[in-house]
Amino acid sequence: MIELSHITKVFNRGQINEVTALHDLSLQIAEGEFIALIGANGSGKTTLLNIISGAIRPSTGNIIIHEADITSLPEHKRSRWVARVFQNPLAGTAPDLSILDNFRLAALRTRPKRLVIGINERFKTEVRDKIAGLGLGLENKIQQPIGSLSGGQRQALTLLMSVMDHTDILLLDEPTAALDPKSAEVVMQTAERIIREYNLTTVLITHNLRDAHRFGNRLIQMAGGQVARDLDTGAKGTLKLEEMYGWFG
């Protein structure tokens, strides 16, 4: 359970460019919930993810994860539970290193070094099995540089890499925005598979209303740093795509 209480975030306070990115926002996210988060540019979506990941601190308000108040816990101490994927498939991977070595680097965040570094056959088998599970046929390419893959394949692997170790919260900020439609589809299918398999609590920011309509079991629209609409599974299930387009005038 993630519990945000009365979160306000003001940037550049007292200056001419002062912005209130989040305004007294309260939100509870249940375990295993998959939220599709939409909203106009500047409505505060990324700031909300930054608050959950710990990349920024709220100006006022509290955030509780797993019943502990983690408002002042820095990002690297939350990364045990919280994984983040950005729009750029290059972010978070080292293109010249092999797929396997990229997985090693990712695992070093959370696992003892001796289990990850060097020629650890068990680790290699584990990575190969997990990649095979994606159904993308990449399990025999783990020695290839990750930079030689397509953007969609790389993004799918980044997703897997980010959740392999004990993560239970996944934050996706427009993960398909930089991809062509076919690659975007691969990544979304992969995301859905991973979210279900690992039972992740997920927030997906997307500008693609079709994706927001199709994916997730809760739909939130933000406007002006606040929650403007919040549809539970039932309401989302009967929502028409055309109606969503109407929300954006």
Task: List residues binding Mg ion (CB under 5 A).
Answer: 45-46
Q: How far is the CB of 159 from Mg ion (least distance, A)?
A: 18
Assign residue 50 a region (left: φ > 0; alpha: ψ between -120 and 50; beta: otherwise): alpha
User: By rule CB under 6 A, what count of residues binds ligand ADP?
Assistant: 12
Q: How far is the CB of 171 from ligand ADP (least distance, A)?
A: 12
| DSSP at 145 | B
Query: Does 84 participate in binding ligand ADP (rule CB under 6 A)?
Result: no
Instruction: Point out which span in 34-42, 179-187, 189-197, 233-241 binds ligand ADP (CB under 6 A).
Output: 34-42
Q: Contact 204/191 with Cβ under 8 angstroms?
A: yes
Residue 100 or 225: the one with the smaller Cβ distance to Mg ion is: 225
Query: Does 46 participate in binding ligand ADP (rule CB under 6 A)?
Result: yes
Q: How far apart are CA 232 and CA 213, in angstroms?
A: 12
Residue 46 or 201: the one with the smaller Cβ distance to Mg ion is: 46
Residue 63 β-bridge partners: 4
Q: Contact 26/64 with Cβ under 8 angstroms?
A: no
Query: Does 19 participate in binding ligand ADP (rule CB under 6 A)?
Result: yes
136-150 residues labelled b (16+ CB within 10 A) or e (exposed): bebbebbeebbeebe
Picking from 68, 89, 91, the residue whose alpha carbon sits closest to that of residue 80 is 68
Picking from 121, 158, 153, the residue whose alpha carbon sits closest to that of residue 135 is 153
Residue 40 or 108: the one with the smaller Cβ distance to ligand ADP is: 40
- Binding residue for ligand ADP, selected from 41, 112, 242, 249, defined by CB under 6 A: 41
Query: Does 216 participate in binding ligand ADP (rule CB under 6 A)?
Result: no
Q: Name the binder of 151 from ligand ADP, Mg ion, none, CB < 5-8 A by kind.
A: none
Query: Does 47 participate in binding ligand ADP (rule CB under 6 A)?
Result: yes
Binding residues for ligand ADP, rule: CB under 6 A, are 11-12, 19, 21, 39, 41-47
